[in-house]
Amino acid sequence: MKGERILYPCYFNVALMRGQGRRVPRSRAVKDPSLADIERAVKRCGVRYRTEPKSHPAFWWKREGRIVVAWDQGKEQLLKKVAGFLEVKR
């Protein structure tokens, strides 16, 4: 896991409160992001990644999947970068 960060769709969901799993500001979040939306945003960031059929522990029943990104810097920087590309898409 060293050098990797995990991203779940709930991190970018505007409908969720921070306590429910949203990790980006509401102004940068989008409505119902799918794994494919996040995958496109990560691809545009130009970093290596892989998808996995796992779910966020708080939302184990949703089976939305997750993206594991090769990233050596802080997770907040990655979240801001990906959220910027999600905003451009929508």
Q: What is the CATH number of the domain that holds 26?
A: 3.30.56.30
pTM, to two decimals: 0.90
What local confidence, expressed as pLDDT, does residue 87 receive? 74
Q: Please choose, from the candidates 55, 76, 83, the residue with its C-alpha nearest in 3D space to the C-alpha of residue 67.
A: 55
Both tokens assigned to 26: 């509401």
Number of domains in the chain: 1
Cα–Cα dist 69/72, whole Å? 9
Helix (H/G/I), strand (E/B), else coil: 4? strand
pLDDT in tens, 27-84: 999 999 999 999 999 999 999 999 999 999 998 898 899 999 999 999 999 999 999 9
Helix (H/G/I), strand (E/B), else coil: 65? coil
pLDDT in tens, 70-88: 999 999 999 999 999 997 6
- At 25, which helix (H) or strand (E)? none
Domain with 35, as residue range(s), is 4-89
